[in-house]
Chain A
Amino acid sequence: MSFNAPRILPAMTVLTLTAGLALVFFFAPNDADQGFIQKIFYLHVPIAICALVGFIVAAVQAIMHLRTGESSWDVRSYVSIHISVILGVAVLITGSIWARASWGKWFVWDEPTLVSFLIVFLLYCTYYPLRYAIEDRERQARYASVFAVTAGAFVPLNFIAVRLAETLVHPRVFATAEGGLTPKMTVTFLVCLAGMALLWLTLARFELAAKSTRARLGRLRRALEGDEVAVGASRIAPVPRQAEEAG
């Protein structure tokens, strides 16, 4: 993967997201309960879904890394988590704004998906200090994969637990997220979801391309100069092992 790879993915992303945006403001009707504020739903929920699926994808890639030992899987897993954490920030910000608009508070414990997401986000934030704390590259990659698998198993459990905790005490707040979607709303939502998924893929590809280019530069530099590490090489960005050169 390089920066010169076919442009169709970014193009599709732009098209779908723009179409989604247009649908949100020109096609989808206003929600009966929440009014115009409900439009945030088309932004917040797709990003949340993509981030969570991204974490599961990272877990699968981590399993592949553990099974095959090829660090290219570790790179993919790292990038998946990285992109999902970035989207996670967006989820928390948009969710907070939605909570403020609906309830006057910047965070509501009544909304189980928001709370679950906060917990998952906090967990995946620990991925970075974990990688920093292990110096041996190979071990770092392996332990990071173990973490990604464990955290991936944790995500569904966490959602079940939080949902049970909240629904026993409070009624669901953002009920439009579940049912009560008219067909027009559903179409809009699906288009936005597709757009966000494509965005996730595009960002992931950019990250992978950046890493690969940096890696190639490092190799070039070593071939020319023979010693120095490339400027700004990260201690935690995964690096493939020498043994895979043959494989």
Chain B
Amino acid sequence: MSAFRAVLAKDLRTELRTLESVPAMALFAATTFVLFRFGLDRTTLEGALAAGVLLATVLFAAILAINRVFVAEREQGGFDVIRLSPVDGASLYAAKVCVLAIYLGALELIAVPVFAVLFSVEAGGLPALAAMLLLANIGLAAVGALVSSIAVNSRARDLIAPLLLLPLLVPVMIAAAGAAEPLLAAGGPSYADFGQWMGILALYDLVFIAVGYAVYDFLLED
């Protein structure tokens, strides 16, 4: 438990001090919104289009964070420390999942209001949207930490991580977009299938956290 806390505290402290991940993600998201405005030639968004733009942007911003989440460990020998200590890999994994989830939450805290303002999005469904994003973040973080560990020890690591990540994240996209579309609809939010999509997200989160826990030690072996 203390290893988990130590890694988590260290990463959050570093991030607060250097501010290298979250502001970059937020800036990336904002610029991407502008690109979408011109790419789609639209100044307002609702429903499926709004869900798609928001979620695709969040997903790609997540890749930025996922690429970086283990870089410090790799460069400063953090992996060796974990290997030599009696701590099991699961603590490291859990800590990194939390770190990523927190980064994503911070990103969305900035990006979603910016999105709503830029595209005059219907705001009634935003609380439910936030809840859905919370679940989606966990899934993104669980898979992201796993893939990042695989990629960080390979050669073309910035290439391998997104390559592996995107197909794995399709169900998250499906469920999140499925939930978000009626929430952002022009005539006001609808909660018809919300429960079902949240269920899918929860299932996804459970499965990949379980998989991550099960295999992580094998990734740490030398």
Q: Which residues of A contact B (CB under 8 A)?
A: 66, 119-120, 122-123, 126, 129-130, 133-135, 139, 142-143, 145-147, 149-151, 153-154, 157-158, 160-162, 164-165, 168
* Interface hub of A129, A134, A135, A157 (most chain B Cβ within 10 A): A157
Question: Which residue of A is nearest B216, CB measured?
Answer: A146
- In the complex with contacts A139-B153, A158-B171, A150-B160 CB distance below 8 A: no
* B170 & A158 in contact (Cβ 8 Å cutoff): yes
Question: Which residue of A is nearest B193, CB measured?
Answer: A168
Q: Measured between C-beta atoms, what is the minimum distance from B194 to chain A in Å?
A: 12
* B215 & A157 in contact (Cβ 8 Å cutoff): no
Total of A-B residue pairs, C-beta within 8 Å: 91
- In the complex with contacts A130-B164, A157-B171, A164-B178, A146-B150 CB distance below 8 A: yes
Residues of A within 8 A of B31 (CB): none
Interface size on B, residues (CB 8 A): 33
- In the complex with contacts A146-B150, A157-B204, A119-B215 CB distance below 8 A: no
Query: Would you list which residues of chain B between 163 and 178 have a CB under 8 Å from chain A?
Result: 163-164, 167-168, 170-171, 174-175, 178
19 residue pairs of the A-B complex, CB under 8 angstroms, read A119-B167, A120-B167, A130-B150, A130-B163, A133-B157, A133-B160, A139-B222, A142-B219, A143-B219, A146-B218, A147-B164, A151-B168, A153-B211, A154-B168, A157-B171, A157-B203, A160-B171, A161-B204, A164-B200
Question: Which residue of A is nearest B165, CB measured?
Answer: A126
Roughly how many angstroms separate A90 CA and B82 CA in the complex, as a whole number?
45
Q: Measured between C-beta atoms, what is the minimum distance from B151 to chain A in Å?
A: 8
Q: Measured between C-beta atoms, what is the minimum distance from A240 to chain B in Å?
A: 17
* Interface hub of A122, A133, A142 (most chain B Cβ within 10 A): A133
Q: Which of A119, A129, A150 contacts B170 (CB 8 A)?
A: A119
- In the complex with contacts A130-B154, A157-B207, A150-B200 CB distance below 8 A: no
Q: Measured between C-beta atoms, what is the minimum distance from A243 to chain B in Å?
A: 14
- In the complex with contacts A123-B168, A157-B171, A165-B178 CB distance below 8 A: yes
Roughly how many angstroms separate A126 CA and B169 CA in the complex, as a whole number?
14
Q: Measured between C-beta atoms, what is the minimum distance from A132 to chain B in Å?
A: 8
Roughly how many angstroms separate A203 CA and B24 CA in the complex, as a whole number?
49
Question: Which residue of A is nearest B154, CB measured?
Answer: A133
- In the complex with contacts A154-B168, A164-B178, A143-B154 CB distance below 8 A: yes
* B170 & A161 in contact (Cβ 8 Å cutoff): yes
Residues of B within 8 A of A130 (CB): 150, 154, 160, 163-164
* B155 & A161 in contact (Cβ 8 Å cutoff): no
Q: Measured between C-beta atoms, what is the minimum distance from A64 to chain B in Å?
A: 13
Interface membership of B156, Cβ < 8 A: yes
Q: Measured between C-beta atoms, what is the minimum distance from B136 to chain A in Å?
A: 13
Roughly how many angstroms separate A161 CA and B202 CA in the complex, as a whole number?
12
Question: Which residue of A is nearest B200, CB measured?
Answer: A161
Query: Would you list which residues of chain B between 157 and 206 have a CB under 8 Å from chain A?
Result: 157, 159-160, 163-164, 167-168, 170-171, 174-175, 178, 193, 196, 200, 203-204
Roughly how many angstroms separate A157 CA and B210 CA in the complex, as a whole number?
13
